[in-house]
Structure 1
Amino acid sequence: MGGAMALTLAALAYPSMLGLNTVSSSQTRIVANTQWGPLTEQDRDFVVKVRAAGLWEYPLGQIGLQKGSSPGVKEASKHLIDGHAALDASCRKIAPMLNITIPNVASPQQEGFVTQLKGETGKAFDTDFANILRMTHGSIFNAIAKIRSTTKNSLIRSLADQANDTVLDHMTVMEKTGLVDFDQTIFQQTTPPKLPSDNLTPPAPDPGQPQVVLTPPPNATSTPLAIPGEPGSNSTREDPAPAEPSPTPTIG
């Protein structure tokens, strides 16, 4: 519903480039003035990036629970599912409030990571799982700090706070696997390949397409944002609602 509404606003046209190594030439341009403060291009793109991250890392967490051959990888997989389900709920909540169109699938680059790991088993899977996810989380961790320190929009600040906690947790559990090659990972994080923009951009959803929902695990510990003024809301995070198991969401 929110995505369909946002598609009608030309001022908030779907971001053209959202990859790890993409920098917009007009990130500070204000695209909307909202009751929560001005919304810039980089604010809008941040919401899309957080949503896109969950669309590949959440299913990869499910894959890791099935294919991971070490306790560390299985534990990290649980954190991916738990954390990204809550972040995704926050993105789906604030996107229609800010008239932001969010994707239903990740970027081709991100989907490529999933395809690669689906084809691996054993130690190779565990090692690439830990290193790819430590690299991607390290990349967005820096972006979160920039958003949090510069945005004038209170909803974006709240999302950045949640994303910071979640991404730091995910970086930490990847490191605890003992499989991260820091020299290689940090090099790839700071010197990403120059890929075409269409490889880095999650496609915009088709009008009327049902929104993909990342269902929290039954024992969820992470909670979505609670927006001030919502019924029953008196804090910055929601109390977790009981979640029922659901099939793996269709991504793509």
Structure 2
Amino acid sequence: MGGALSLTLVALAYPAMLGVNTVSSAPTRVIANTQWGPLTEADRDFVVKVRAAGLWEYPVGQIGLKKGASPAVITASKHLIDGHAALDSTVRKIAPMLNITIPNQPSPQQQGFINTLNADSGKQFDTDFANILRVTHGSIFNTIAKIRSTTENTLVRILANQANATVLDHITVMEATGLVNFSQVLFQETTPPKLPAGDLTPPPPAAGQPEVVLTPPVNSTTQPPVLPGESPSGNAANPSQTPTVG
């Protein structure tokens, strides 16, 4: 489990590494001026990061529904699916509005998490599931707070609000399994290993490839927030405006 936790943390500790495109070392640099406010590199990378997180955590939730050996893991799996479907709905709406390219696949490292949990069974699955996901969500918590407190972009702020509530919920249900090794989780969160950028970056979508949609469950209890210019039904009142790239 230690190796899987080490790999998990590094993806979330360095969100800039998750951008589809190469980024500079200045996350506060404004890369576009939009009708919703300036968009920085950090803002752009955060949107990509939320998308990438859903592309591996949503299928892990589906795996958990099938392989979870305890009721608490089954419950946590339902929360993963529900929460990431709603987050992904928001990401897929705001990405074209902000002219952000989002991936259709998780990073190689994130796919490795899926493979690890696919190979687990029984109590080992439950333990790895709870601890890997507790590290992931615990690590991203600080990133969300920083984006929320610094972004000047209304759409990114809305996404950060939603992500904050979702991540806190997921932290709570992981801890409710009773399987989280807090000392190990804290170690993984504070001493991340270094991995090649290629392992941490989701591939860009192939030309003409249909956008992957994380479908909400039939009994979903989580609704995406209403965006500016959008009716409560989710229909846009205005077409999006393409930002000027700087």
Whether TM-score is above 0.5 comes out as yes
Residue aligning to 2:188? 188
Write the deviation string for residues 115-168 of structure 1: whole angstroms up to 9, x where unpaired.
Answer: 001001000000000000000011111100000000000100000000000000
1:1-252 to 2 correspondence within 5 Å?
19-22=11-14, 25-232=25-232
- Runs of 4+ with deviation above 4 angstroms: none
Q: Is the 8 A contact 1:20 1:192 kept in 2?
A: no
Q: Is the 8 A contact 2:28 2:40 kept in 1?
A: yes
Letter in 2 for 1:37: G
Q: Cα RMSD between the aligned structures?
A: 1.5
Q: CA deviation at 1:208?
A: 1.4
- Structure 2 CA distance, aligned partners of 1:186 and 1:113? 19
SS of alignment partner, residue 42 of structure 1: helix
- Structure 1 CA distance, aligned partners of 2:227 and 2:130? 34
Q: Is the 8 A contact 1:108 1:200 kept in 2?
A: yes
Q: Is the 8 A contact 1:135 1:189 kept in 2?
A: yes
Against the structure 1 CA distance between its residues 232 and 181, is the aligned structure 2 distance closer, same or farther, given a 3 Å change threshold?
A: closer
Q: CA deviation at 1:75?
A: 0.2
Q: CA deviation at 1:206?
A: 1.1
Letter in 2 for 1:156: V
Residue aligning to 2:238? none
Q: CA deviation at 1:20?
A: 2.3
SS of alignment partner, residue 26 of structure 2: coil
TM-score using structure 1 length: 0.84
- Structure 2 CA distance, aligned partners of 1:208 and 1:189? 38
Q: Is the 8 A contact 1:65 1:78 kept in 2?
A: yes
Aligned pairs, number: 218
Larger RCO: Structure 1 or Structure 2 (Cα < 8 Å, ≥ 6 residues apart)?
2
Q: Is the 8 A contact 1:90 1:159 kept in 2?
A: yes
- Structure 2 CA distance, aligned partners of 1:71 and 1:231? 38
Q: CA deviation at 1:231?
A: 3.5
Q: CA deviation at 1:216?
A: 0.2
TM-score using structure 2 length: 0.86
Q: Is the 8 A contact 1:67 1:121 kept in 2?
A: yes
- Structure 2 CA distance, aligned partners of 1:230 and 1:173? 31
SS of alignment partner, residue 149 of structure 1: helix
Q: CA deviation at 1:227?
A: 1.2
SS of alignment partner, residue 13 of structure 2: coil
Q: Is the 8 A contact 1:58 1:214 kept in 2?
A: yes
Write the deviation string for residues 168-219 of structure 1: whole angstroms up to 9, x where unpaired.
Answer: 0000000000000001011112211100000010111112111000000001
SS of alignment partner, residue 152 of structure 1: coil
SS of alignment partner, residue 39 of structure 2: strand
Letter in 1 for 2:72: G
SS of alignment partner, residue 20 of structure 1: helix
Q: Is the 8 A contact 2:13 2:140 kept in 1?
A: no
SS of alignment partner, residue 19 of structure 1: helix
Q: CA deviation at 1:232?
A: 4.3
Residue aligning to 2:241? none
Q: Percent identity?
A: 71
